[in-house]
Amino acid sequence: MKAHTKETQATMTPEKSLQFLKEGNKRFQNNLKANRNLLEQVNDTSDGQFPFATILSCIDSRVSAELVFDQGLGDIFSVRIAGNFVNEDILGSMEFACKLAGTKLIVVLGHTSCGAVKGACDDAKLGNLTGMLAKIKPAVESVTEPSDASLRNSKNVEFVDHVSQKNVELTINRIRKESPVLKEMEDNGDIKIVGAMYDINDGSVTFYE
């Protein structure tokens, strides 16, 4: 499989880009990697890059977007931060990726058993981590069940995963609210913004469309 070129990127639509990721995740689950010569892709992308998607995911070592979607060099922009939330710098990176570099899809990818989400559920305090986890707290507060405080912590796996899903949803809302550039592109059909959840137990990605 060759690296994307300006010409192949131009043929991509938001829907086609999403389908590429879905097919890549199926290959990953079945341990059937696309045939790529990565060194050849290094050479092919030395003069420029033409990715088709931008993926915001967690720093979790088990959730590498390139691996779980079976993508090669030059295929996707990968933004990684614990808890897969956005701030001004990440939004600026996404605007560059879509408006200037031509990607057609933004995916906010959460995952099950997320450590950052667990920390937010437990109201963990540790140096700069305290401020970072505060950005995930709105998702914790938005999940109203269970109401019993003793069940609203990292030991409740179901609660943690519900918070992770809500965090993806709220992150997408923030992208649309805080980036007029991306909101306009989405409204015009130039890009698609979707959420997704990676299951660390079986390698599958569920998209929220």
CA dihedral 76, 77, 83, 89 (to 10 degrees): -160
Pick left, alpha or beta for residue 87 (phi over 0 → left; psi -120 to 50 → alpha; otherwise beta).
Answer: beta
CB 199 within 8 A of CB 111: yes
Burial 99-135 (b: 16+ CB within 10 A, else e): beebbbbbbbbbbbbbbbbbbbbeeeeeeeeeebbeb
SS3 41: helix
**Which residues belong to the annotated binding site for Zn(2+)?**
58, 60, 111, 114
Spatial CB neighbours of 88, under 8 Å, sequence gap ≥ 6:
178
Q: Tell me how far apart the terminal alpha carbons of the chain are, to the nearest angstrom.
A: 28
Q: Where are the alpha helices (DSSP H) in 109-189?
A: 115-121, 127-134, 137-142, 157-178, 180-187
Q: In what order do the strands lie in the sheet with 76-80?
A: 76-80, 53-57, 105-111, 192-198, 205-208
**Which residues belong to the annotated binding site?**
58, 60, 111, 114
